Every structure is written in C-alpha cells, then in structure tokens.
Amino acid sequence: MILPGRVYLVGAGPGDPDLMTVKAQRLLAEAEVVVFDRLVSREIMRLANPLAVQISVGKEPRHHLVPQSEINRILVRQALAGRMTVRLKGGDPFVFGRGSEEAIALRAAGIACEVVPGITAAQGCAASTGVPLTHRGLATSVRFITGHCRQDEPLDFDWRGLADPDTTLVVYMGAASIASIAHRLVSEGLPASTPVLAVNNGTTTRERRLLSVLGSVAGAADAALFEGPVLFIVGAVVTLYDGAPLCPILREVTSLERVMAEEAVHA
C-alpha cells in the first residue's frame, strides 16, 4: 500500500533566491515533484532537486493553459502516488496566489498540506526600491489589490475607499488594467499628480522601474514595453523614492517630463 505523500504550498518570494526562507529552499531541494508558476524565476528553479519531476502550470492573463481545477487534480494525484510535492508560487501562497483553493482541495482529498510563507511582491519591491509602504506623515495604512479578476471579470472595488490620500495602494498584476484603475481613482478624488512607481521583475537582475504620476502612468507603462510581472505602488510614499524626499504636500505635475524609466543594473 502506498501511503499518500505530503504537499507543501511554498512561497518562492518576489524573485531573488536570497529572499526565500531557509525552509522553502530546503523543501525545494528535497522535493520529488515541483509544480511551479510562471512567476517563479529561473534562478529559483535552479535550486530544485535535479531529480525532481518539474511540472509547469503557469498562467498568463486571459491565457490559462492549465486551469485551477486541473492544478488541484495534479497536486492530489502526485500526493496519492506517495510523492513529496512542492507547489511553488511566486511571492506568498496566500496573497493573490490561490493557495487557499489548493489547500481546500487537498484537505477534501485527505492529503496533508503545509503552507510555507514567502515575501510577497509588495514587500520585496518596497525593499528593492527603497520606497516604504507606510511612513509617518505620508501613509498610515496600505492596501493590496489585484488588477486581474477571476475569469477576466470587470474590476469591482471600493473605489472611494481606495482613493484615500493617506493610504498606499499596491496593485498586483495591473499592467493590463492600470489605465482603468487610474481613471477610477482620479474620478473618486485622488489627485492625478499622485506619484506612482511601477516595478517590473522586482528584486531580480532584470528589474526595471518607472516613476510616473497617476494621470499619465498608463501611457508611460505602455511605452516602457514591460515583460514579466509589474507591480504598481501608488501614493505619497513614492516621493521618498531613491532617498530624495520631495515635498510631502504633493505638487501638481502636468508634464511627462517627470516620467522616468530606468534600468536597475546589478553587477
């Protein structure tokens, strides 16, 4: 009789292998099967047990090669075969990672499941760029939202609540929807001059940054031709970017001259 294996829902962090937990690295090195997402960096996958079976289940907006229901079945099937399985997710499994859906499916099948947290993209990008998510006098709270909804349904948020000048708003997976998000925030009263920092492939050697303002960030992001995940940090804390504080009282910005794209070059 084959005893069921155990499944670990492991957060790979934002991309830099050094930002993974010790436990995450150990489990990845011991895994017999690794089921991984598109957002898991190549550098992290190199840490996997070379003898492990690697199963890619990556999703892209409006292009889900492996639906969530099938991912659930893969995890159950591998565990029932007695294999130690790591479900590797970018960031944290329980922050826009659908890890809770997989945990529910595993529990329903009688499979032991353990969650290993990871540094989520907002934390990683904040550390990488030096932009705090909260700062006394600028932001007293932070909110995370996703720019991509289930089955590509329209975004439905408390827009008035999100348009709070004392709150830092972090938008995950927002490259395709930043125009509509920015429009709704401005229509609810958040100034078009509110600074925005877009971070592409954060914490990796391919990281790129775009400094803009809410009223023009959509066009600037399109022009940047980002490839890979993009995270947007919206709010007064962005004035602290690069260690050079601007006036805490946001100034009106009406020109694209303040829009700046830069490559983060790592030796």
Active-site residue identified among 16, 37, 92, 164: 37
Say whether 37 is catalytic.
yes
The tally of CA atoms less than 13 A away on the side-chain side of residue 135 is 17
The DSSP string of 15-51 is: S-GGGS-HHHHHHHHH-SEEEE-TTS-HHHHTTS-TT
Helix (H) or strand (E) run with residue 89 in it: strand 85-89
- Quick one: 150 exposed, middle or buried, by C-beta within 10 A (0-12, 13-18, 19+)? exposed
Active-site residue identified among 16, 89, 164, 173: 173
> What is the distance of C-alpha 106 from the center of its chain?
24
Active-site residue identified among 23, 45, 59, 84: 59
Hey, what amino acid is at 76?
V
Q: In what order do the strands lie in the sheet with 195-200?
A: 141-146, 167-172, 230-234, 195-200, 208-213, 260-263
Kindly list the catalytic residues: 37, 59, 173
